Amino acid sequence: MALPEIAIVGRPNVGKSSLFNRLVGRRVSIVDPTPGTTRDRVTQLIELLPPTDLPYDRARDGTPKLAELVDTGGYGVYTAEGGRFDDAGEDLQRLTPEIERQIKAGVERATLILFVVDAQTGVTGLDERIARLIREAGRADRVLLVANKVDDDSWIGAAHDACRLGFGEPTMTSASSAYGKRAFLEKIWERVPEWTEPVAKPEMKIAIVGRRNAGKSTLVNALAGEPRVIASEIAGTTRDSIDVRFDIDGHTFVAIDTAGVRKRKSWVDDIEYYSHQRAKESISRADVAVLLLDAREPVSQVEKRLVLELMEQHKPTVIAINKWDLVESKLKTSDYIDYITQELFSLDFAPMIFLSAEKGEGVASLIKVCRNLFEQANHRETTGRINAAMQAILNERGPSSKLGTKAKIFYVSQIATAPPTIAAVVNKPELFEGAYERYLLNQLREQLPYSEVPIKLVFSARKRLTPAELAARSKGARAARESGDEVSDGD
């Protein structure tokens, strides 16, 4: 038995993505009046609380039901666009079959189908067409008809027009004002079966980032083992950030497909802004990032800005060179590595993988490298070893000072993982900034088990301690020595 899935379907601009975000409790799907904004199946795991006599926003009793909520694209999106043949319309026409295949997959897998109509616009021919398709697919018994945009009591009469679709009386709600939310949630609760099996928590989240047409969606599909997201040569196909769960050798992971990045001055609408923001958020919540490059294209400012974002977030990163099969007869691997190292010098410590996402070549190796980076980033080193490494580096080459001040390190400790964060108490923090900090980071990667991940350094000046703080530090030092851990409490 699979985890229950709730698919939200309907024609464009009935408020599917707004309802999705309302049910999830945060902005996940991009909401925009432009038809065709949502294209892939956007999914999120949600908890459905049991109905009680209490108001929804107060405490509830009972065990929540788990389900996977699925946002789908607008059915008949090109028809809704009016059949325009400008650049955007032509791209949308070419993508429509893929969008509708994703909708069909969502409907076929769904335990419950939320068929959404617009109460303010009324039932349209396209709504009736969707109703016929649901019946032809044999899924009519799974439908909960939802009349959205019932912002207040004045729209209740108009919402009843949806009864003629043949799925009974509609459940009335408003994604924007939350009108009817409680009754809406209770109807969903009644239709979703209980799920008693534990949901495997993903061991690692991997964000796939890169410029447009680098092959990010193709790579995600190769990981998932199915056409989970739309892969197209049309630039800008992916808009939302899509979480895709997949299993390899009994281990569960999540791949995050992100929108392709391009120069800000080339953005044509708000959707690109929101896509860019979702891509940045995906980097933040991922454990490891894969910077996907197209082997046929030179490194551009887009990739260099992405590297800066990855470094600012101290994110473990694999540089993956896609479509290598198309150029390997013309390029030497060693020459290309030298080129990438020179162009993306800030990530000169990051591992590189050559692959063909379309053929599935190198994908298994990519996951192994990601797991290795994840382990490095989550490793905690002993205080004694870190102190010894820092002191050895300082003895070999200390920071220079125009005034002749000698740099001293009084105490060093790792205070966090992911990223590995090392805090050092020193006499003059300014001596360790800039070029010397970069030198120190490179040396630490050689001496500690963080050779391929970013390390975060925090320097602070020593302060005078109160008697109570001195006693606490002494007690901690004694406990560390008794446990076999080395400490350095300064001079």
Q: How far is CA 339 from CA 210, 292, 362, 451, in A?
A: 18, 15, 21, 21
Query: CB neighbours (10 Å) of residue 231?
Result: 21
With a cut of 60, say whether residue 38 has pLDDT above it. Answer: no
Full-model pTM: 0.78
Give the pLDDT score at 103. 77
Confidence of residue 272 (pLDDT cuts 50, 70, 90): low
Give the pLDDT score at 488. 44
Give the pLDDT score at 39. 52
Average pLDDT over residues 308-327: 96
Signed CA dihedral, 21, 54, 63, 148: sign only? negative
With a cut of 80, say whether residue 426 has pLDDT above it. Answer: yes
Give the pLDDT score at 249. 86
Give the pLDDT score at 77. 57
| Partner residues linked to 425 by β-bridges | 411, 460
Q: Using alpha carbons only, what angle is made at residue 263 by residues 261 and 269, rounded to the nearest 5 degrees?
A: 80
With a cut of 90, say whether residue 388 has pLDDT above it. Answer: yes
With a cut of 90, say whether residue 480 has pLDDT above it. Answer: no
For each of the domains in the chain, give its residue range(s) and CATH number, in order of start.
Answer: 5-191 (3.40.50.300), 204-377 (3.40.50.300), 383-482 (3.30.300.20)
Give the pLDDT score at 281. 85
Tell me: cis bond preceding 419? Omega within 30 of 0 counts: yes
In this predicted structure, which of 69-78, 220-229, 263-272 has the lowest mean pLDDT? 263-272
Q: How far is CA 93 from CA 11, 77, 85, 97, 461, in A?
A: 15, 8, 8, 8, 62
Confidence of residue 100 (pLDDT cuts 50, 70, 90): confident
Q: Which of 5, 1, 2, 30 is nearest to 16 (CA)?
A: 30
